[in-house]
Structure 1
Amino acid sequence: MRFMIIVKAGAASEAGALPEERFIAAMADYHEQLARAGVLLDAHALQPSSRGWRIRWSGARQLVVDGPFAEAQELIAGYTLIQVRSREEALEWSRRFPVPQGLGVDAEIEVRPLCELEHLGPSAAAERFCRLMPDA
């Protein structure tokens, strides 16, 4: 089972502030533990929403909206992708995640299971999509 640990953005990450050295060290320690356990698939920080955009559809119309976006706590600052045997194992790993904004600052991570291709059901389109995936 694959799970994504989603790190919510904060005012500092949206302002482009670099994390403190002790947080980077804590993240390196945590991700080294994941790697040693053989469950780490990927992990990255994201640049502020001011560097990105959104595509919105309304009927047949498409609109490109440049960042930044409001409500920093609803944005994603980074993610870690893990593959584990169970929801319980994913919960245990996520409880060990370093505090994203630093101790004493409210922060939140969100953990969600990936919708695997087999959840799409048998179809030619799903099989075609599956062949594109490197871990298929």
Structure 2
Amino acid sequence: MRYLMTSLPSDTARKPDEKLHAEVGAFVEELTAAGVLLATGGLDSPTVTTSRDGEFTVTDGPFAEAKEVAVSFALVDVRSKEEAIEISRRFFQIIGDGTGYIQQVL
């Protein structure tokens, strides 16, 4: 089962530094070696496309609620949703507070 996981660190999450990069790197290496991690990366401010009544609009970020925009993603291949939740829990143990979204890729 594949899951797309996105994260939104909170204002109180650890600030990026060499130690944090090393810890996240080790976690990524562990998941990659286990064959679980398919892709990962950071995300830029979104471009939003909307179609309504035949009208198509494009809005570029950043937006007023930038704190609600996902900043990173991981695509994982796991046996269950619970396993994806455990990966998210471990990720937030490293980076600190935040919010994560887990969605099964159908």
- TM bracket, shorter-chain basis: 0.7 to 0.9
Number of residue pairs the alignment of both structures matches: 103
Return the letter of the residue paired with 1:112. Answer: Q
Query: RMSD value over aligned CA atoms?
Result: 2.2
Provide closer, same or farther for how the CA distance between residues 68 and 9 of structure 1 changes in structure 2, counting only shifts above 3 A.
farther
1:108 aligned residue (94, 99, 106) = 99
1:67 aligned onto 2:61: yes
Q: Which of 52, 56, 67 is the equivalent residue of 1:58?
A: 52
Aligned pair partner of 2:18 in 12, 21, 45: 21
**Deviation of residue 61 (structure 1)?**
0.5
Distance 1:19 1:53, change over 3 A: same
| Structure 2 match to 1:133 | none
Q: Is the 8 A contact 1:9 1:72 kept in 2?
A: no
With normalisation by structure 1, the TM-score equals: 0.65
Q: TM-score, normalised by structure 2?
A: 0.81
CA contact (8 A) 1:9 1:74 kept: no
Instruction: Tell me, yes or no, if the aligned pair for 2:8 and 2:99 is still in contact at 8 Å.
Output: yes
The answer to whether residue 71 in structure 2 is matched with residue 84 in structure 1 is no
Listed as ranges, the gaps of 5+ residues in structure 1 are 12-17, 117-136
Gaps (5+ residues) in structure 2?
none
Task: Report sequence identity in percent.
Answer: 35
* CA distance, structure 2, for counterparts of residue 27 and residue 54 of structure 1: 29
> Secondary structure in 2 aligned to 1:108?
strand
Matches within 5 A, 1:5-44: 5-8=5-8, 19-44=16-41
| Structure having the larger proportion of residues in strand | 2
Q: Which has the higher contact order (CA 8 A, sep 6+)?
A: 2
